[in-house]
C-alpha cells in the first residue's frame, strides 16, 4: 500500500491542476484577454509553492536569485536555438499594447505554473529515487498532462501522441536546465519564451473534425515521427548536464572565471 502512495499522490495532484482549467469561471472574464488563464496559472503556481515549502522538498534551493557564473551562461547559450525557433517560424503577429501586455503576463504565468508543478514539485518529490529517474518520470508526467488538450471532439490520437512526446523532451531540457543553473527562474523564462505563440500566434483556421485525415498516417511513420526531435532534445540534455557536472570545466575556463571574478580563490595560509 505504501508503494502506491507516491503515484496516487502525483496522479491526484496532476488531476487537480487540470481541474482548475475545467472549473475556473471564464465567462465573466472574457472581456479582458488572457485574464482567466493568468489567474488559473497564478493559482497553480501559488498552491504548488506552498506544498513545496511545507514538504521541504530539495528543489526549494532553486528559488533564489539567478547566479551569474560561467556554467549558467553556457547553459543559456545552449538553449538559445530553441528560444529563437518561434520567432523565425513566421507564425507570430503583433498585438495592440494592452493585449500584448496581458499576453506577456500570461505566457510568464504559464512558465511559472507549469515549471513549479512539474519541476519544483514533481521532480522534488521524485528526487529521492535518483536524479535520472526523477527527471524521466517528472518529464513523462508533464508530457502526459498535455493529453488534456485532446479530449472530446478535439481527440486526435496521432497529434496527441506527438504533443506528449514533444512535451516530454521539453520537460527533460527544462529539468536539466534547472539542475545545471541551480535555479528555477531560468527554466521559467525559457518556458515562457518557448510558449510565445500561445499569446502571439496568428489565428489558425480550425481543422475539420472527424474528416478521416488520420487514416492517411501509417502506423510506423506516425510512431517514429517525433523521435528525431526527441533525439535532438536528448543531445541537448546531455550537453546541459555535462556543463553542470562538478569539476567538468577545463582549466582555461576556470582561469577565465577567476579573471572575471566569477569565483574567488582562497588564499593559502603561510604563503
The band of 26, judged by pLDDT with boundaries at 50, 70 and 90, is: low
Is residue 265 included in any domain, yes or no? no
Query: Phi and psi for 194 in degrees, rounded to 5?
Result: -65, -30
From the list 139, 173, 138, 165, the residue with the least C-alpha distance to 243 is 173
Residue 201, class by beta-carbon neighbours within 10 Å (0-12 exposed, 13-18 middle, 19+ buried)?
middle
Please answer whether residues 46 and 112 qualify as being in contact, where contact means their C-beta atoms are separated by less than 8 angstroms: no
Q: What is the pLDDT of residue 267?
A: 56
Which region among 61-65, 78-82, 244-248 has the lowest average model confidence (pLDDT)?
244-248
More confident residue, 11 or 53: 53
- Characterize 24-45 residue by residue with b for buried, 16 or more Cβ atoms within 10 angstroms of its Cβ, and e for exposed: eeeeeeeeebbbbbbbbbeebb
* pLDDT higher than 90, residue 205: no
Handedness of CA 30, 32, 38, 40 (dihedral sign): negative
pLDDT of residue 255 exceeding 50? yes
Query: What does the pLDDT average to over 26-48?
Result: 82
Distances (CA, A) of 263 to 74, 136, 238: 16, 32, 25
**Range in 113-117, 160-164, 227-231, 249-253 with the lowest mean pLDDT:** 249-253
**Is 210 part of a structural domain of the chain?**
no
Strand partners, 201: 92
State the pLDDT at residue 4: 63
212-234 pLDDT tens trace: 444 577 888 888 889 999 999 99
Whether pLDDT at 54 is above 50? yes
pLDDT at 209 over 50: no
Would you say residue 38 has pLDDT above 50?
Answer: yes
What would the mean pLDDT of 64-80 be, rounded to a whole number?
Answer: 89
Q: Is the pLDDT of residue 254 over 80?
A: no
- Domain presence at residue 236: yes
- In this structure, is residue 207 part of a structural domain? no
Residue 189 pLDDT class (50, 70, 90 cuts): very high
Please report which confidence band the pLDDT of residue 266 belongs to, taking 50, 70 and 90 as the band edges: low
Number of domains making up the chain: 1
How many angstroms separate the CA atoms of 77 and 24, rounded?
38
Average pLDDT score over residue span 178-197: 95
What mean pLDDT value characterizes the chain?
84
- The CA distances from residue 253 to 71, 180, 221, 243, 258, in Å, are 10, 16, 44, 12, 9
Instruction: Look up residue 227 and give its three cell numbers.
Output: 523521435
- Residue 211 covered by a domain: no
Better pLDDT: 190 or 211: 190
| 242 CB-near residues (< 8 Å, 6+ apart) | 248
Q: Give percent of the chain with pLDDT exceeding 70.
A: 80
Residue 269 lies in a domain: no
Give the model's pLDDT for residue 21: 62
Q: Among 9-23, 49-63, 230-244, which stretch is predicted with the lowest mean pLDDT?
A: 9-23
DSSP tally for the chain: helices H, then strands E: 12, 0
Average pLDDT over residues 159-180: 95
**Which pLDDT belongs to residue 149?**
84
**pLDDT of residue 185 exceeding 90:** yes
Q: Does any domain span residue 85?
A: yes
| For residues 45-57, average pLDDT | 93
**CB of 75 within 8 A of CB of 180?**
yes
CA 121 – CA 144 distance, rounded (Å): 16
Q: For residue 34, give the 3-state DSSP assignment.
A: coil
pTM above threshold 0.85: no
Task: Supply the range of the domain harboring residue 109.
Answer: 2-201+222-259
Amino acid at each position: 500500500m505504501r508503494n502506491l502512495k507516491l503515484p496516487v499522490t502525483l496522479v491526484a495532484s496532476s488531476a487537480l491542476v487540470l481541474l482548475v482549467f475545467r472549473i475556473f469561471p471564464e465567462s465573466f472574464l472574457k472581456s479582458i484577454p488572457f485574464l482567466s488563464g493568468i489567474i488559473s496559472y497564478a493559482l497553480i503556481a501559488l498552491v504548488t509553492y506552498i506544498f513545496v515549502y511545507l514538504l521541504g522538498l530539495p528543489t526549494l534551493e532553486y528559488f533564489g536569485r539567478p547566479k551569474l557564473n560561467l556554467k549558467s551562461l553556457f547553459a543559456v547559450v545552449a538553449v538559445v536555438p530553441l528560444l529563437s525557433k518561434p520567432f523565425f517560424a513566421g507564425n507570430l503577429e503583433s498585438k495592440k499594447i494592452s493585449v500584448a501586455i496581458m499576453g506577456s503576463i500570461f505566457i510568464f504565468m504559464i512558465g511559472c505554473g507549469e515549471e513549479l508543478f512539474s519541476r519544483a514539485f514533481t521532480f522534488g518529490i521524485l528526487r529521492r529515487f535518483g536524479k535520472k529517474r526523477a527527471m524521466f518520470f517528472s518529464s513523462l508526467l508533464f508530457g502526459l498532462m498535455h493529453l488534456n488538450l485532446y479530449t472530446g471532439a478535439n481527440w486526435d490520437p496521432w497529434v496527441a501522441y506527438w504533443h506528449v512526446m514533444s512535451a516530454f523532451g521539453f520537460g527533460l531540457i527544462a529539468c536539466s536546465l534547472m539542475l545545471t543553473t541551480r535555479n528555477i527562474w531560468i527554466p521559467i523564462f525559457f518556458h515562457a519564451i518557448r510558449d510565445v505563440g500561445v499569446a502571439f500566434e496568428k489565428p489558425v483556421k480550425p481543422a475539420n473534425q472527424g474528416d478521416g485525415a488520420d487514416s492517411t498516417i501509417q502506423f510506423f511513420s506516425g510512431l517514429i515521427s517525433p523521435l528525431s526531435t526527441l533525439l535532438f532534445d536528448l543531445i541537448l540534455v546531455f550537453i546541459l548536464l555535462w556543463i553542470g557536472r562538478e569539476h567538468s570545466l577545463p582549466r582555461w575556463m576556470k582561469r577565465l572565471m577567476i579573471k572575471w571574478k566569477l569565483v574567488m580563490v582562497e588564499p593559502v595560509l603561510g604563503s
